[in-house]
């Protein structure tokens, strides 16, 4: 016999359990059949609706009676399950479920080490006190969608062998998923974590979906493992979120996520094997990517970060420390203010820029004009490193920017453009050896040209009458002197151009040699800066 209700509630005759205002008639009938314990009597609540003991939304209801009926329900389901044949269990079509839809738990809900062997549905349930599923096992689908945890909740060391559904669940207090194992998909879409959320050492063997999740308090994913895709698209992070020592074996998506004004996001010693996407994310405070000499975060050749169209309040709060990086990661975002410390370029070095590899990666991502966007990204990275006095890296990025621009035109052989000659003459003012050799080449070229040009050569001794001046070509020594004098804007009194063609050559050298000399000086200056 059911216990006598407290004075506040009155047993109602010929009434149906109200369940909840949001339940439609079809679902209500199904819940009354599978969940309600109306045969123990209905209770009239102060809202003038009638409820069974499971669905009465009041903490004051008899907790002992509630627990007794709950254990009866669990035991009945266990007995049904144990009566099944092995074939029925393997086919999973027995129809046995544990149904707690809209149940309102008045006191601590303790399912410590309990084995949920059948489909279990806690959707829209309310846990008014501590809810502990610690070390429980869910062998079949577990549904907690729209469940409300008003107090602490523990899923520590829980094993979810099948699909786990936490969509739109609300965790108002501390929740602990430490060492939990999700062997199938974990779905937390639109869940709300209003206090501390602990996912330390949690293992996700299948897709983990945290799309549109709200983390109002701190969230700790330290040392968690994501073996498949991890989705955090449009998630909101208001405080500290830790992804340190996490392993992402597949893609991680943070597209359009919001990192608020008081947020601090840490990716320290994190292993990214594939893609991490932050496109269109709003970053209002600190986000840190920090590796070590042994682990530079992006450990695989095909791992990368996508930062397109970031919305940033302060670029200097975005830092990359001791990571492996590629310039193509920073296209379509302004990286000129980011903080880079001890970052290692994957392909480029002072001898081999490998801009073609960067362009191929952008082409694989189907950008319409990879040359222009890579050029812009590299210039921004160059400006960034120049400002931080990291001159060797700034030089590399300048060279890559110019190379990308050159390769855009006629596959790099637009020799009628000034940019092509800039590349040929000094490698964009970055290589003094090339600039010096080209300068020597110009001088030698005019030495040879002057040996075949007409000059008026007069005697060095002025006492000899001027009528002895001769119109002739120069010998090697005379031609060398003339070339050096012309290049330095000097003149040799006893050697004068004799024809218009010779005058043209003299003027041409006066243009080319000083220009190349300036490029040579620029390249030397930049080398000393590096």
Per-residue confidence (pLDDT) for residue 228, from 0 to 100? 97
- 143-152, 194-203, 412-421, 474-483: the lowest-pLDDT one: 412-421
Going 411 to 415 to 419 to 420, the CA torsion angle's sign is positive
CB 300 within 8 A of CB 271: no
pLDDT at 5 over 90: no
Read off the pLDDT band of 12 (50, 70, 90): very low
Average pLDDT, the chain: 88
Mean pLDDT across the stretch 88-110? 88
Read off the pLDDT band of 202 (50, 70, 90): very high
Distance CA 359, CA 314 (A): 29
Tell me the domain boundaries of the chain.
1-107, 326-408, 426-529
Per-residue confidence (pLDDT) for residue 424, from 0 to 100? 63
| Predicted confidence (pLDDT) per residue in 354-402, tens digit | 888 889 889 988 888 899 999 999 989 999 988 888 888 888 888 888 8
Residues 180, 183, 184, CA angle at the centre, nearest 5°? 120
Distance CA 514, CA 441 (A): 13
Residues 273, 274, 275, CA angle at the centre, nearest 5°? 135
Per-residue confidence (pLDDT) for residue 159, from 0 to 100? 98
- 155-164, 291-300, 344-353: the lowest-pLDDT one: 344-353
Per-residue confidence (pLDDT) for residue 3, from 0 to 100? 47
| Predicted confidence (pLDDT) per residue in 452-498, tens digit | 988 988 887 665 555 678 888 889 998 999 888 888 888 888 888 88
What is the DSSP secondary-structure string of 73-92?
A: HHHHHHHHHHTS-HHHHHHT
Is the domain covering 426-529 a CATH 1.10.246 domain? no
Distance CA 173, CA 55 (A): 22
**8-state DSSP, 396:** H
Mean pLDDT across the stretch 66-86? 91
pLDDT at 7 over 50: no
Closest CA to 139 of 207, 77, 227, 208: 77
Per-residue confidence (pLDDT) for residue 289, from 0 to 100? 96
Structure tokens belonging to residue 487: 């290049």
Q: What is each CA distance from 85 to 90, 117, 199, 400, 401, in whole angstroms?
A: 9, 14, 37, 69, 70
Mean pLDDT across the stretch 243-266? 96
Structure tokens belonging to residue 423: 């590349």
Mean pLDDT across the stretch 73-95? 84
Distance CA 234, CA 28 (A): 33
- Alpha-helical segments (H) within 250-369: 355-364
For 511, counting Cβ atoms within 10 Å of its Cβ (0-12 exposed, 13-18 middle, 19+ buried), the class is exposed
Distance CA 102, CA 105 (A): 9
Bridge partners for 160 per DSSP: 138, 182
Going 404 to 405 to 410 to 413, the CA torsion angle's sign is negative
Q: Which of 3-7, 282-286, 394-398 has the highest mean pLDDT?
A: 282-286
Q: Spell out the residues 6+ positions from residue 83 whose beta carbon is closer than 8 angstroms to its own.
A: none
Please state, as a whole number, how many other Cβ atoms lie within 10 Å of the Cβ of residue 311: 12
Per-residue confidence (pLDDT) for residue 1, from 0 to 100? 42
Closest CA to 76 of 123, 131, 37: 37
| Predicted confidence (pLDDT) per residue in 17-53, tens digit | 999 888 888 899 999 999 999 888 899 998 899 999 9
Per-residue confidence (pLDDT) for residue 471, from 0 to 100? 86
Read off the pLDDT band of 6 (50, 70, 90): very low
Q: Which of 10-14, 81-85, 93-97, 157-161 has the highest mean pLDDT?
A: 157-161
Distance CA 392, CA 500 (A): 47
Distance CA 313, CA 369 (A): 28
Mean pLDDT across the stretch 423-446? 80
| Predicted confidence (pLDDT) per residue in 213-228, tens digit | 999 999 999 999 999 9
CB 261 within 8 A of CB 239: no
Instruction: Answer with the residue of higher pLDDT: 520 or 260.
Output: 260
Please state, as a whole number, how many other Cβ atoms lie within 10 Å of the Cβ of residue 70: 18
Furthest CA-CA distance within the chain:
144
Structure tokens belonging to residue 295: 């682990």
Per-residue confidence (pLDDT) for residue 4, from 0 to 100? 45
Closest CA to 517 of 425, 403, 399, 398: 425
Mean pLDDT across the stretch 285-312? 90
CA 308 to chain centre: 10
R_g (Cα) of the chain, nearest Å = 38
Residues 201, 205, 209, CA angle at the centre, nearest 5°? 85
Distance CA 98, CA 473 (A): 107
pTM: 0.82
Per-residue confidence (pLDDT) for residue 41, from 0 to 100? 86
């Amino acid at each position: 016999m059911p216990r006598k209700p407290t004075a506040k509630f009155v047993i109602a005759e010929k009434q149906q359990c109200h369940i909840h205002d949001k339940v439609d008639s079809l679902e209500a009938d199904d819940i009354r059949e599978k969940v309600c314990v109306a045969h123990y009597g209905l209770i009239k609540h102060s809202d003038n609706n009638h409820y069974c003991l499971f669905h009465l939304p009041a903490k004051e209801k008899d907790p002992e009676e509630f627990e007794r009926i709950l254990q009866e329900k669990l035991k009945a389901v266990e007995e049904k399950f144990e009566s099944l044949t092995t074939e029925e269990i393997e086919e999973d079509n027995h129809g046995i479920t544990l149904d707690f839809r809209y149940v309102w738990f008045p006191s601590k809900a303790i399912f410590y080490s309990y084995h949920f062997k059948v489909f279990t549905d806690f959707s829209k349930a309310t846990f008014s006190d501590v809810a502990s599923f610690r070390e429980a096992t869910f062998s079949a689908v577990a549904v907690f969608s729209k469940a409300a945890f008003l107090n602490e909740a523990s899923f520590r060391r829980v094993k979810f062998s099948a699909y786990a559904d936490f969509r739109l669940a609300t965790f108002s207090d501390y929740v602990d998923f430490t060492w939990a194992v999700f062997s199938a998909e974990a779905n937390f879409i639109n869940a709300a974590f209003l206090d501390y959320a602990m996912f330390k050492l949690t293992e996700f063997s299948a897709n983990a979906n945290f799309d549109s999740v709200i983390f109002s308090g701190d969230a700790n994913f330290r040392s968690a493992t994501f073996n498949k895709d991890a989705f955090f698209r449009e998630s909101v992070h208001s405080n500290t979120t830790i992804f340190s020592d996490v392993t992402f074996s597949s893609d991680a998506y943070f597209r359009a996520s919001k990192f608020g004004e008081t947020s601090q996001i840490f990716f320290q010693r994190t292993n990214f094997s594939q893609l991490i996407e932050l496109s269109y994310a709003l970053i209002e405070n600190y986000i840190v990517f920090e590796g070590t000499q042994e682990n530079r975060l992006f450990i695989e050749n095909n791992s990368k970060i996508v930062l397109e169209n970031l919305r940033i309040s302060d670029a200097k709060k975005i830092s990359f420390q001791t990571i492996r990086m590629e310039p193509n990661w920073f296209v379509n975002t302004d990286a000129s203010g980011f903080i880079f410390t001890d970052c290692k370029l994957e392909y480029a070095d002072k001898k081999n820029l490998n801009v073609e590899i960067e362009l191929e990666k952008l082409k694989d991502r189907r950008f319409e004009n990879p040359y222009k966007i890579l050029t812009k990204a590299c210039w921004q990275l160059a400006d960034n490193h120049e400002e931080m006095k990291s001159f060797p890296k700034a030089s590399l990025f300048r060279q890559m920017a110019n190379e990308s621009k050159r390769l855009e035109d006629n596959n790099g052989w637009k020799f009628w453009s000034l940019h092509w000659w800039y590349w040929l003459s000094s490698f964009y003012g970055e290589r003094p050896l090339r600039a010096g050799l080209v300068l020597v080449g110009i001088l030698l070229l005019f030495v040879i040209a002057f040996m075949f040009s007409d000059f008026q050569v007069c005697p060095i001794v002025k006492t000899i009458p001027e009528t002895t001046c001769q119109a002739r070509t120069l010998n090697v020594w005379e031609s060398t002197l003339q070339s050096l004098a012309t290049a330095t804007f000097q003149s040799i009194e006893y050697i004068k151009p004799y024809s218009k063609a010779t005058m043209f050559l003299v003027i041409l050298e006066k243009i080319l040699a000083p220009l190349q000399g300036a490029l040579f000086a620029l390249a030397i200056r930049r080398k000393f800066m590096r």
